[in-house]
Amino acid sequence: QVQLVESGGGLVQAGGSLRLSCAASGRTFSEYYMGWIRQAPGKERVFVAAISLSGGSTYYADSVKGRFTISRDNAKNTVYLQMNSLKFEDTAVYYCAANKGGITSRPPSYDYWGQGTQVTVSS
């Protein structure tokens, strides 16, 4: 089992940047594929980005490709989401999530979730 705690959210103007962090408990972080999923008010959770066990492979939603970068530091048990050129439509609660099955864009495939961190982009 792994516990996840996100941080780094906040209010930013359109065009600005934020870096989200997700700290994981336990010694088996490197055994989990990690992802970021977001949920806007009144909408379902949607995939943002995912990363492989070593960090060598990444996968992005088309809406964030070229603007967001997912990375991980297995020595620090942490996964990051660097968000640049933020848009109003990026406003959402951002969750990090973990699973052992493989790199995936399907939110239901993730077994463990953090509590989420709010990102608000003002236009």
Q: pLDDT tens digits, the chain, 123 residues: what are they?
A: 899 999 999 999 999 999 999 999 977 999 999 999 999 999 999 999 999 999 999 999 999 999 999 999 999 999 999 999 999 999 999 999 999 999 999 999 999 999 999 999 998
Q: Which pLDDT value is given to residue 78?
A: 98
Q: CA-based Rg of the chain, rounded to a whole angstrom?
A: 13
String of DSSP letters for 19-63:
EEEEEE-SS-GGGSEEEEEEE-TTS-EEEEEEE-SSS--EEE-TT
Q: Which pLDDT value is given to residue 26?
A: 77
**Cα four-point dihedral sign 10, 83, 79, 39:** positive
Q: Which pLDDT value is given to residue 27?
A: 73
Q: Which pLDDT value is given to residue 62?
A: 98
Q: Which pLDDT value is given to residue 44?
A: 97
How many other β-carbons are positioned within 10 Å of the β-carbon of residue 19?
13
Q: Which pLDDT value is given to residue 123?
A: 87
Q: Which pLDDT value is given to residue 110?
A: 97
Cα separation, 94 vs 116, whole angstroms: 5
